[in-house]
Structures are given as structure tokens and as C-alpha cells.
Structure 1
């Protein structure tokens, strides 16, 4: 039995990506896995929504207009929010250096990401959070 199915309420996964199709696909995948999702089209939208307190795991693109995923995570950590984070990127060179933002950074996956690998990373993130 996975961690998520043992929890009383479904974990809330925030998806931050400027690409509508990626957000939709990730939302569909995660909801089918039993998670509650919240989607945001930018890092600033996520931060402005004050969703940090209810987010159990963050799945974010790295390169987005305005504020990058890395900058968003840095701001979250600086303000005391330590949300397990999975970065996804279509640009392998955009990946943060190994060990950056530890322990918040759970994984950095290439786009398109393998569904099973992403779900495994989310389970690992939820174990880290609780």
C-alpha cells in the first residue's frame, strides 16, 4: 500500500508550469493516482495564491517566464516553507546543480517525464514531508 492511500486525506500536489498541456496532463495523471491537485501557470501565481501551507509536494517547471522554478523554491525556503519539490524541464542544462536546495529538491526529471518515475518521486517526497 502506498503512502498516499494510507493518508486520511489525499495529499495536495501543486503543479506549476507555464505550458497548459503539461499542467493538464500532470493534473490528470496525479488525480488518477488519488492526489488532489492545484495548478498554477507561473511561479508568481503560486506564491501569490499563498498555497505554500496546504501544499504537500510541488511539481514545477524550471524555466518559466518571470520567475524560474529554482527562484520560486529559493523564495519559499527563505520564507520558511520547506516543500518537497520535483523539478521538470525540457532543457537538461537548466537543471540545478546536484545537491542544490537539499533536502527540498527530491528530483529533477526531463520532459516529457515518465509517469511511473514521477509518481515514485512524489511518494518519496510525501514520505520526506511526513
Structure 2
């Protein structure tokens, strides 16, 4: 089974580095510079996991997750953010996000979150 992971972030360097990390784990990775580009491309139908920034130009990561919820998608979304807004953890929980990682973080933290999200798929 090919594991598909979507990376959505308007920070090109973070997105490209994250895609490379995911591929090094043997998974397929596709990057998107915006939530809108991701939704238009419709990969959410095939994604096993999504890694998404919260604060992006246009639609936020949380708004994208709410849209996926409306479409009936239960895909795990790992949110990442450089912002330290105290309300973010609650907002992530309320929209059904899998977890929230604060940038910058060590790659192993993301790998562990991906492993937990994929393990939850098996349950």
C-alpha cells in the first residue's frame, strides 16, 4: 500500500524540506502552497495524512480542515504553526485536527506524529 501524505504550507523551504523528509521514510509526498490549491487538486480523496500550516494567505489550515469535515473526509491533519496564539490548541481540537506542532521542531517530532496518525488509520 502506498502511503500518500500531502504537505500544505506557503513557506516554500519548509514545504520542500518536509516533502523530502516524508519521501526519505518511503512515503509519497505532494506539496501545495495553499489550502485552496490542495482542495482544487482533490488529493484529499487519496491522502492518508495531511501536514498543514495554520496561518497561510487565503484559507487557513483550520478552515481547510473544516471544509474537509463538510466533505466527509476523516483524514488525519497534523497542524504546524510558527505562531504561539494561546487559542490554537483548542481551535485544532475543535476542528478535529490530529495534533499541533510548533515551528521550529526537530524532524523526529514530525516523524513520530506521522507514525501515530498512520497507526490510527489501522485502528
Q: TM-score, normalised by structure 2?
A: 0.92
Structure with the largest fraction of helix:
2
CA deviation after TM superposition for structure 1 residue 49, in Å: 0.3
The corresponding residue for 1:26 is 18
CA distance in 2, matches of 1:99, 1:54: 23
CA distance in 1, matches of 2:50, 2:105: 15
Measured on the aligned residues, the alpha-carbon RMSD in Å equals 1.3
Q: TM-score, normalised by structure 1?
A: 0.87
CA distance in 2, matches of 1:44, 1:17: 11
Is 1:39 matched up with 2:31? yes
Tell me, what secondary structure is at the counterpart of 2:43?
A: coil
The corresponding residue for 1:108 is 100
User: How far does the alpha carbon of each residue in 1:4-37 deviate from its partner, in whole angstroms, 9 at most, with x for none?
Assistant: xxxxx23110000001001111011111111100
User: How far does the alpha carbon of each residue in 1:64-123 deviate from its partner, in whole angstroms, 9 at most, with x for none?
Assistant: 000000000000001101110100000021624163233xx2210011222111111111
The corresponding residue for 1:99 is 93
The corresponding residue for 2:114 is 122
Greater shift in the superposed pair: 88-97 or 30-39: 88-97
CA distance in 2, matches of 1:64, 1:113: 19
5+ residue gaps, structure 2, are: none
Name the count of aligned residue pairs: 120
